[in-house]
Every structure is written in structure tokens, then in C-alpha cells.
Structure 1
Amino acid sequence: MALLFRSFFATAVTGQFMMNSKGLPTNGVQGFMKHLLMAADHVKPTHIIVCWDMGSQTFRNEVFNDYKSNRNAPPVELIPQFDLAKEVAEGFNLSNVGVVGYEADDCIGTLAKLHRSERKVSVLSGDQDLLQLLDDNIDIMLLKKGFGNYQTYTKDLFVEERGITPEQFIDVKALMGDTSDGYPGVKGIGEKTAMKLIQQYQDISGILANLHELTPSQRKKIEEDLDMLHVSRKLAEIHCEVPLSVSVDEARWEHVSHDTLTLVDELELKVLRRFLVGSNVLSASS
């Protein structure tokens, strides 16, 4: 979803919705597939799974009613591309995964933790929240501006750069909140202070056990927002026990078949077709 939204808004800002002859906008789908296929060519994976949000309501809305309520409804030109993106991914023999009541991030976390003991896992997204999933056999590829530009984090690099563990990143998020997801954390505590507190006291429990050591201002803010702090902690953590039934064999990646061009032509995905014809992704296939 992060890649689809990113691709849509990158071209929608100039009105380039790339309508096909049926009046269906395709800009988000074409950019999404280009991002995915370029990452596949970069990583050379044995398997690929694409995870999707399945509606706006998840278990987090039961924890906090206003979760993501600050977000605007998606543009009308994007709405039909949700199903189209899944159709195109399936046409490229990619496995689509999504579970009602959970976010795509939860599915990603569940699959990453499930398979890390058997194989190297690389997660592609533009969402830094996924950094909490970093582990000995899980890397996170954060998509930077443009196509094919990644900032790849390993667990060791994250610890070295930020001075906290991936798991502690959840507590940092709980303290500082997330304006994008609509939960406040502790009002008045930003990222810098949150990082400092977690580095010093390890986790939220450590902070609460040592409130007397904090500045009067910090102590007051946390005490006044204690309930929201605990709620924000639940919202910030990716749920890694989603009930999934995914066949690894069905997720095997064998490059792009030339037959896929038929689907691309039927849907008039001209930008994607030009990319495929001129890329290693297609020429590497039989």
C-alpha cells in the first residue's frame, strides 16, 4: 500500500493519472509494479509476497477509536487502483496477502518473523515503522526518492546509527506518537527526547520506574498522559501473529514471463511495458 500510494501521488500532483481507453486510471499501479520489479532485480529473491491493507478498520481502532481518523479519504482516481494493483500483481504470478482486521504491516511482520529462521528476508517499503522488525535475518529496504534508490538497514546498522534496538524503537514511537497514524503519544515529548529517554532507561517500564530522575516538566507530561502512553505502545507495535495461510511454494519468484506482456497490453499499462522491454527483469526470463 505504501508503494501504491507513493506512486499515485508522485504523478497525480501534475494530473498524470494515465487513463486507459476504458477511463481507468493506472498511474499508481504502474509505479507500484515498477518499484517492485526493480527491487526484485536488485535483491534477486527466491520468493516474493505482496501484503495489503484490507479496509480502513483494524483491531487498532478497537484500542483507539481515532486511530488514523485524521487521514483524508483516498482520491477518486486512486480507489479503483486498489483492486487493479492486486490483479496486476497476480498476473505477474505474485502472491497477494491480506487479512481483514489487520494492517499490511502486521502481515509483513508475521511472515518475516515466521521465515527468518529458514531464509533471508528483505522487506521493501517507504514506511519507517517497519524498522522495528529488524532482526538477525531480516533487512528493511526503505525506498528513497525516485526509483531504485534504497536505504537498506540491518539490525546492526540500526543499533549503530540510532543507539537503540529495533524493539526499543516501538517505545520511542509510543512516547513521541505518530501524527500520520493519528495517535498522540505523550504530548510535548518529541523524537529527540523520546530517543534520549529510551537510551537511558531502556524501555517505558524503566522510565516509569525512574520518574523521580526526570526533569519536572518531563515527569509531569508523562504522568498526565500515562494512559495514552500505554495505548500508543499498543498501537505502535506491529502484530506478528496474524492468522495467515500462505504457501511458500506459491510465492516462488521466477522472473517475469514474456506472456505477462499480454496482460500489460490488455490493461494499456504503457509506462510499465516500456520499463519491462528495456529492463533486465524481462530479458532475464525465458
Structure 2
Amino acid sequence: MEKPHLLIVDGMALLFRSFFASAAMKQYIRLEDGTPTNGVQGFARHVLTAQNLMKPTHLAVCWDMGMHTFRNDLFEGYKANRPAPPEEMLPQFDMVKDVSEMMGWKNFGISGLEADDLIGSMIEKWKDDAEITVISGDRDLLQLLNDKTTIAFTKKGYTEYDTYTEQRFREEYGIAPKQFAEVKAFMGDASDGYPGVKGIGPKTALQLIQTYHSIDGVLAALDQLKPAQRTKIHESMDMLKLSHQLATINCDAAIEAELNDLVVPAFNEAVASQLDNKGLRLIIRHARSLGL
């Protein structure tokens, strides 16, 4: 008997992607009262297309729940450099969860955690019970790859993805997926606002983990490194360890659901009627174009 196929959607990644793709052309797709819906309708159309392409049997949508997470408690500068979302996006944060629920998709979000942490915890919970595909734009998720999990990074439109399996990752990076957080600890992440070891870039960071296998392995072999590298690591020791904490996805969150709760719902007339009443007719047209 075939295992279930669980599709985990990084909701915020698809919402932002859909918003900015259409906002660039000033296409906010407003309701009669003026409320913009471009991100919300794009998100729903993207998930419907993914259902049609990937044929999951089960589906979950994971959300960030506000800006403040346990990582901000660890490091005040975490994501502090990110600009505030545009005004037209603000009403869409709540609307998108309502629409997701209307579609029959189960939403997950835990205060103090990021969507990444929920995704990691779902993979940990169901890795033996299902084949898992994750849709996101966040390459931090590469650390979650295993022989039952595929990460599909959004690439172009609703249908093109850059897909990673554990085998592809090992071939390209020469390390195990779990070691990716240790690479990030050395190189830092400008978009997340943590520096790693100042002066060590992605190439050197990867070489260090390929050669010494872990942060502890690098520290145990400091006398074998070039003097400049040794100095940089010595000067950033605390930030190196902190960056590793920030880069590591928490896979221990309590997921209050069983796999059977996540069966992919049918797109039916009741759903279409609810969407129509809300003025979200692009979603209906898109579902119909997919034969749903």
C-alpha cells in the first residue's frame, strides 16, 4: 500500500511571493470596499496548482505568528533589518488564514515560533508515515531533507520549482542536510540579520564543514587553519555559537493534529459559494481551469 503524500505549504512565503509579483504592476485586485486581495488570491491559486501538480493526499499550511519569536529573545538583531510590509498587505495577513480555512486547508501557527519550526516538527512527526513535500522559498529548510522529504523551492509562476532531494543536496554540498545549519553559523545570514563569523563567506563556510564535519570539529582543529581564519573565528566565537542556534530549525514543536486530519479537501460548490460571497472570484476561476 502506498504511503500518504503530505504537502506542507510555507504559507507566508507564498503570500509574500504572490503579493509582490502582482504589486509590482499595481495589480492589488481590490474588493468592492477597496480591500486588496492580490496576495491572498495568488496564495490560494498557487496551492490549488500545487495540489493539481503534486497530487498530495494530505495538506497542511504553516504560518509565522507575528514578528517576535524565541530567536529575537536570543538575539535582538534577528530580522530587525527587514522593512515593514506595505500598507496594502496588512489586511491580507488575517484574510489569507480565513481563506485557507474556507478552502478546507488546515492552518498551523504557534506564537514564538516561525513557520520553519512547524514545518520541521511536522517532518519529524510524520517522516515514517508519509512521503513529504514542502513548498517554500526559504533555503534554510534544506537542513530538513531526509530520504522521505523533498523541498520544492518556488521558481517561476505557479508551476516551476527547484526541487531538492536528500541525494541532490549531498551531491551538491558534500555534507548531510543537518550540517547545513553549521554552514549557516559560519557564513551568517544577511536577510535574517545575524553575521556568523565576520569575513567568512559561503564558500569557506562550506569547506570548513566538509573538512571538519561540525563547528566543534573546526574548533578542535583551529591550529590547522590559516592564521587569518583562526583569528576571525577566535574573534567571533560567541557569535558563531549564537548563529548556530539561530540557524537551527526547532523540530520539537507540538503539532496538535493527526495525519488523518489533513486529508486534502474537495473543491466543491459550497467552497465556491463562500468565495463568491467574499468577492474572491479569481480563485474560483482558477480552480475551474484546473478541472476542480
* TM-score (norm. length: structure 2): 0.94
Q: Aligned partners of 1:203 and 1:106: how far apart in 2?
A: 22
Q: Aligned partners of 2:178 and 2:255: how far apart in 1?
A: 23
Is residue 260 from structure 1 mapped to residue 267 from structure 2 by the alignment?
no
The equivalent of 2:135 in structure 1 is 124
The equivalent of 1:12 in structure 2 is 23
The equivalent of 2:285 in structure 1 is 274
1:221 to 219, 229, 232: 232
Q: List runs of 5+ in structure 2 lacking aligned partners.
A: 1-11
The equivalent of 1:137 in structure 2 is 148
2:106 to 95, 98, 106: 95
The equivalent of 1:114 in structure 2 is 125
Q: Aligned partners of 1:250 and 1:22: how far apart in 2?
A: 35
Moved over 6 A (4+): none
1:45 to 56, 62, 66: 56
Please say if residues 54 and 100 of structure 1, whose CA atoms lie closer than 8 Å, have aligned partners that are also in contact: yes
Deviation at 1:5, TM superposition (A): 0.6
Q: Provide, for residues 39-59 of structure 1, a one-character-per-residue CA deviation record: whole Å limited to 9, x for no partner.
A: 111111111010001111111
AA aligned to 2:146 is D
Q: Provide, for residues 116-151 of structure 1, a one-character-per-residue CA deviation record: whole Å limited to 9, x for no partner.
A: 111111111111111110011111111112211112
Give the secondary-structure state (helix, strand or coil) at the position aligned to 2:119.
helix
Please say if residues 22 and 38 of structure 2, whose CA atoms lie closer than 8 Å, have aligned partners that are also in contact: yes
Please say if residues 46 and 254 of structure 1, whose CA atoms lie closer than 8 Å, have aligned partners that are also in contact: no
Please say if residues 131 and 166 of structure 1, whose CA atoms lie closer than 8 Å, have aligned partners that are also in contact: yes
Q: Aligned partners of 1:22 and 1:260: how far apart in 2?
A: 22
The equivalent of 2:5 in structure 1 is none
AA aligned to 2:191 is S
Deviation at 1:247, TM superposition (A): 3.3
1:173 to 184, 199, 207: 184
The equivalent of 1:233 in structure 2 is 244
AA aligned to 2:61 is V
AA aligned to 1:35 is H
2:210 to 184, 199, 216: 199
Q: List runs of 5+ in structure 1 lacking aligned partners.
A: none
1:154 to 162, 165, 173: 165
Please say if residues 7 and 28 of structure 1, whose CA atoms lie closer than 8 Å, have aligned partners that are also in contact: yes
AA aligned to 1:115 is W
Give the secondary-structure state (helix, strand or coil) at the position aligned to 2:153.
strand
RMSD in angstroms over aligned alpha carbons?
A: 1.1
Give the secondary-structure state (helix, strand or coil) at the position aligned to 1:89.
helix
2:220 to 204, 209, 215: 209
Deviation at 1:263, TM superposition (A): 2.0
AA aligned to 1:262 is S
Deviation at 1:244, TM superposition (A): 2.5
**Percent pairwise identity:** 49
